[in-house]
Amino acid sequence: MVSRVIPVDPFDLVIFGGTGDLARRKILPALYRRFRDGQMPEEARIIGAARTNQDGAAWRAWVREAFDEFLRPDEISDDVVAAFLERLDYLAIDATGDGGWSDLKDKMRDDVTQAFYFSVGPSLFGALAERLHNHGIAREGARIVVEKPFGRDLDSACALNATLAEHFDETQIYRIDHYLGKETVQNLMAVRFGNVLFEPLWNAQYVDSVQITVAEEVSVAGRGAYYDRSGAMRDMVQNHLMQLLCLTAMEPPSRFDPDAVRDEKLKVIRALDPVEPSDIVRGQYDDGMGPSYIDDVEDPASRTESFIAMKLHIANWRWNGTPFYLRTGKRLKARKSEIVVTFKEPPHSIFDADAGSRANVLSIRLQPDEGMDLRVTIKEPGPGGMRLVDVPLDMSFAEALGPEAEHVPDAYERLIMDVIRGNQTLFMRGDEVEAAWAWTDPIIAAWKERGDKPVTYEAGSSGPEEALMLLHRDGRRWREIS
Ligand code: NAD
């Protein structure tokens, strides 16, 4: 079962930062896959722009090399790659300089959709927006795509929003959170709002608790300097985990339309109670054998967290009394992201006490193996009387999509096509980002004021003991990270 591919309209996409890591790792492979599957029309064009002085042929050769690294061998067909590369062009442009802009203007066509991907550090967003405007390059309706980090606190996020707003309308700005492009995350909305089965139970009366985990195996080695200025709260919770929380907890929007969905997400952020210090655990990995966090960031006095676990309350009618537990960290046991909704046990059991009774659990897996499973209780097979067991109703997307589907589409494939289609549903609106920072800032400020020091956890473990206790004291347990 493969969904029908509907080609997008012809476009000119300019990738500022076209020689960067994100371009070669994610953006260009995603575009190639959409081209291969027939979603990118013949008339589409991609223009790389960066400071490196090189011609189009040199950039195309670099892109070709990147494909060998970031596409699976079976995805590469020489003919398709050659046809894709024909759509690529390059211009040497310094975001802060004046050269190259008139060449870019000459290359842009009048009758196609325009998109500008700012795959550069946020300090260049203002310079790019201004030049696109002043040189008369960006037409009305042109789209700009910006990457995380979108600010490091409320003030800087507001400043970035204000800078972009000088030249672009909110309807033109696509703030990427690639978690929102994941197939499973969209499926969370499909499951919640496309079935009658879940929504009546999706509230504090029937949901015991929700866990959201984004666990990574990797350390921060190699990007320690950047990470140490940010930490798990800024790098993961304020954006990715917050977005997952919003989609899990939001009210049904009236339509599947960008502002209707984003209005509901915003209400969730605004309904979050302040978090008690005792409901937060911060950790730093410590590896007796290899480098510890402080070695990776080269600051023995660092108080930045590489792990965070927290218990949140959403102060509204739907969720009053249901805790949401969030957890994310580096150098954990496994790479695993999931949302787990644990329902309450049946209010009364008609079976013998020793029959056993279990709560239904819906797990939404983001990685690896995107999919969902719902654990339901059935009778243990066999003649041995009424004993209950829970079994999974499992839906792996890779399996469900069938053998023709080579892969579950990467988030960037979906999101870039949405930019061209002009659909902002899966992108963060400026006020959402600001509300998330407004919630995050006081928490970080309080750590600083109290001089909080993260606890240590063993590299390769499930995180600090204190994080396990956060749930134990409520009579709950985290799901295994495995
Ligand atoms: P990078 O350092 O690898 O690449 C930066 C790119 O910007 C290069 O092409 C460079 O030539 C270009 N550039 C720098 N200064 C410029 C200037 N003055 N004028 C024109 N071009 C200039 O960075 P990256 O990893 O590709 O990240 C780009 C953005 O995406 C950053 O904001 C980063 O935080 C974000 N991001 C990256 C990743 C990732 O996996 N790499 C993931 C999420 C977000």
pLDDT in tens, 288-309: 777 899 999 989 999 999 999 9
At residue 240, the pLDDT reads 97
The pTM score is: 0.94
Name which residue sits closest to atom 12 of ligand 1, judged by CA: 17
Q: Is the beta carbon of 127 within 6 A of some atom in ligand 1?
A: no
Q: What is the pLDDT of residue 402?
A: 65
What is the percentage of the chain residues whose pLDDT exceeds 70?
A: 98
Among candidate residues 245, 251, 223, 246, the one with its CA nearest the CA of residue 235: 223
Residue 350 vs residue 269, higher pLDDT: 269
Q: Is 407 a catalytic residue?
A: no
- Give yes or no for residue 229 CB within 6 A of ligand 1: no
* Residue 116 and residue 145 in contact, taking contact as beta carbons nearer than 8 Å: yes
**pLDDT tens digits, one per residue of 160-201:** 999 999 999 999 999 999 999 998 888 899 999 999 999 999
259 lines ligand 1 (CB under 6 A): no
By most ligand atoms within 8 Å of CB, the mutation choice from 98, 119, 130 for ligand 1 is 119
Report residue 153's pLDDT band, with 50, 70 and 90 as the boundaries: very high
Q: Look up residue 312 and give its amino acid.
A: L
Among candidates 404, 396, 371, which has minimal Cα distance to 37?
404
Is the CB of 51 inside a 6 Å radius of any atom of ligand 1? yes
Check 133, 240, 313, 407 and give the catalytic one: 240
Query: Greater confidence, 358 or 466?
Result: 466
Residue 475 CA neighbour count, 13 Å, CB half = 1
Alpha helices in 139-208 (DSSP H): 154-165, 183-194
pLDDT in tens, 230-271: 999 999 999 999 999 999 999 999 999 999 999 999 999 999
Whether residue 303 has its Cβ less than 6 Å from ligand 1: no
Asked whether the predicted pLDDT for residue 403 surpasses 70, the reply is no
Does 438 score more than 60 pLDDT? yes
pLDDT of res. 5: 84
Residue range 56-71: mean pLDDT, rounded: 98
Q: Is 373 helix (H, G, I), strand (E, B) or coil?
A: strand
145 C-alpha vs ligand 1 centroid, how far in Å?
13
